Chain A
Amino acid sequence: MTSHGPISQPAGDALRRALEHQVAALAPIAAGLHAAEAHPAVAPADWHGPASDAYDGLESRLRSRVAVAERAVSTALQTSRLALAELGG
């Protein structure tokens, strides 16, 4: 175990405040991305033809990228909360 000492206390406070801001700012972004992933923008089913076929691939890619972004932001949020908990925040 390392000694926390007098230097680490202010640094720990500053880190806690920054993490609190980070969690507060990440939470709505994560919620928004979660909603976007749950309700993806889907082209109408009665749209057919070459343009529709080309667009279908793009739409799948978009869904996948939104899902990746949602996971990344959620992970950042969870890790930030974990760090705060460990800091005693």
Chain B
Amino acid sequence: MHSTHPPAPLPDPALGGPLWVTPAGRGSQVMVATDALLAQTERLARLHDSLESDAVALDRIDALGVGALATAAAGVPGAAAAMRSAAHLDGARVAVRSAAAVARRADADLRQAIAGYTAAEERQQSQALRLGELVGILFGPALRGLVIAGMPSLLSARAAGLGPEDLPVDGLERWLLDHPELITDPAFVEGVRATVMSIDDATGSAMGLSPGAVESLAASHGFTEVEAGAAITMLAGGSIGLFREGAVSMERVTTSRVTHGAHGTLDRLSRVPENDQVRIERYDAPGEPPRYVVYVGPTETFSPVATDEPWDLTSNVAAVAGLGAGSLRATELAMHDAGVRDSDQVQFIGFSQGGLIAARLAASDSWNTVGLETYGAPAGGIALPEGLAGMAIRNTDDFIPALAGPQSDHHLLQVERRAFAPGAPIPTAEPAPAHQREAYAATATAIDAAESLAVRRQIAAMDAFTAGFEHRDGATITVMTYHAERGGEKHLAPGKSLGAGIPAAVTPTWSSGGSIP
């Protein structure tokens, strides 16, 4: 589904919409604004502070008493001009304070406009989700009828030797290719979001349960919101051979050196691997513990039937549900192999499913996460810790992030943008064009050119983690790439974390059991 790495050529970022920014915050502090508007509020705040500071400075100048001294020196050449300067100074103090007051008012009005937009957006999304719940409840009985009616066909298909691998997935891909304008419409994306949020209600209704019963049941088992829908999907799919998790094995395929850490959002995205699903950069400097950047690649196959590829739909659904996804376990095996200890500082970077896995790892207590950057990740419901550097980047016309429901966590900066503005040509070569790496590369380019401090500070914080190693005596940057497969045929004796030093040239292979907790 995803194009090969590296992306080329980059689409023109001007084809997309403006950047929408939601700085990290909580409750009523959460606001949504374009990068340009945020930058404007920041400019107004700076102007107001500067004018206030000028007014205080002018008060101090007035305290020099030039007017009184000029009166005392009446008749001296220059005294009359000095008196006029004192009068002009009074006028300047009034004018500067007046300008400061208007700057404060403009800043406050702009922030109020942003707050109004944020509230309207929240209302709209809340209504869409409520509508989805009601539709789910209403159509539950029809769904039950369909399942009952389809059961004979399913049994007949089984008897005829047909399995889940014979599902018409190619037809779905063709349909996606044929309708790029539909699936890249933000309205479609919101429909997807509402649908996934109504799975639990629709299931409950189909089973004849009262509204909210399945949600309560799921919550009693530790599943919240969209996690419940994903867990139900796994459970239902498992009965017909879909979404079956299992053991994974991992192999280090290359070990090399680079001279520079990533600089900027586009550079980080370009380092996210493809095919070999995990890339780990280890930063060593004398006298310091190593630090790591873990890059996790996107989904490699969308088949709902688990094959030998762990970066598949099964891992997607399992990771959204918060279960032990094969790709998550494989990434942790790679981290152990690279020598990452629980005290070592780590940044996680991921695209698509890689972003989902990155967010899950950042949210876990197992790692000392200091930064997280995701692109198009269905990870909105994952509760992240406070204080992480980085951002979650989503194209609003990309339906994949919507598969995880609405953005409920606000501990990380959120940056959104329409990949294809209305009227812009939409590529038809690949399904879900707004989810392709090229579309996110264009968004990353726009982010690197962002004006607002909210965005610039996070880019700088991510850059600072790996900056300057090339200038430090004895510092090295080691890059390890990993390939994982489903199946546990290749095993390595336990305790093979390579710890300090450059990993050996041999390619160790690990295996992880894959039972769903």
B121 shortest CB reach to chain A, Å: 14
Q: Which stretch in B105-113, B322-330, B339-347, B431-439 binds the other chain?
A: B105-113
Contact A80 B82 (CB under 8 A): yes
Main secondary structure of the interface of B (DSSP, over half): helix
Contact A83 B78 (CB under 8 A): yes
Contacts A25-B60, A69-B98 given: A19-B82 contact, CB under 8 Å?
yes
In the assembled complex, the Cα of A55 lies from the Cα of B102 at a distance in Å of: 11
> Chain B residues near A69 (CB, 8 Å)?
51, 54, 92, 95-96, 98-99
Q: Does A62 interact with chain B (Cβ within 8 Å)?
A: yes
Q: Which of B68-110 contact A (CB under 8 A)?
A: 69-70, 72-73, 75-82, 84-85, 88-89, 91-92, 94-96, 98-99, 102-103, 105-106, 109-110
Q: Does A18 interact with chain B (Cβ within 8 Å)?
A: yes
In the assembled complex, the Cα of A4 lies from the Cα of B73 at a distance in Å of: 9
B20 shortest CB reach to chain A, Å: 12
Contact A25 B57 (CB under 8 A): yes
B40 shortest CB reach to chain A, Å: 5
> Chain B residues near A79 (CB, 8 Å)?
81, 84-85, 88
Contact B37 A43 (CB under 8 A): yes
In the assembled complex, the Cα of A54 lies from the Cα of B112 at a distance in Å of: 12
> Chain B residues near A73 (CB, 8 Å)?
54, 58, 92, 95-96
Q: Which stretch in B42-50, B147-155, B238-246, B357-365 binds the other chain?
A: B42-50
Contact A15 B78 (CB under 8 A): yes
Q: Which of A52, A54, A61 contacts B102 (CB 8 A)?
A: A61
Contact A11 B73 (CB under 8 A): yes
Q: Does B64 interact with chain A (Cβ within 8 Å)?
A: yes
In the assembled complex, the Cα of A83 lies from the Cα of B84 at a distance in Å of: 9
Contact B113 A15 (CB under 8 A): no
> Chain A residues near B450 (CB, 8 Å)?
none
In the assembled complex, the Cα of A66 lies from the Cα of B43 at a distance in Å of: 14
Contacts A12-B73, A86-B78 given: A58-B102 contact, CB under 8 Å?
yes
Q: Does B34 interact with chain A (Cβ within 8 Å)?
A: yes
How many B residues touch A, CB cutoff 8 Å? 50
User: Which residues of B are at the interface with A, using a C-beta cutoff of 8 A?
Assistant: 18, 34, 36-37, 40, 43-44, 47, 50-51, 54, 57-58, 60-61, 64-66, 69-70, 72-73, 75-82, 84-85, 88-89, 91-92, 94-96, 98-99, 102-103, 105-106, 109-110, 113, 116-117
Known: A69-B54, A73-B54, A73-B96. 20 other contacts (CB 8 A): A8-B76, A11-B76, A15-B78, A18-B66, A19-B66, A19-B78, A21-B64, A25-B60, A25-B61, A32-B54, A43-B37, A51-B116, A52-B113, A55-B106, A62-B103, A65-B102, A68-B98, A80-B89, A83-B78, A87-B82
User: Which residues of A are at the interface with B, using a C-beta cutoff of 8 A?
Assistant: 2, 4, 8, 11-12, 14-16, 18-19, 21-22, 25-26, 29, 32-33, 36, 41-44, 46-47, 51-52, 54-55, 58-59, 61-62, 65-66, 68-69, 71-73, 75-76, 79-80, 82-89
- Sorted nearest first, the 10 A-B pairs with minimum C-beta distance are A86-B78, A44-B36, A83-B81, A87-B78, A51-B113, A76-B88, A11-B73, A79-B85, A65-B99, A72-B92
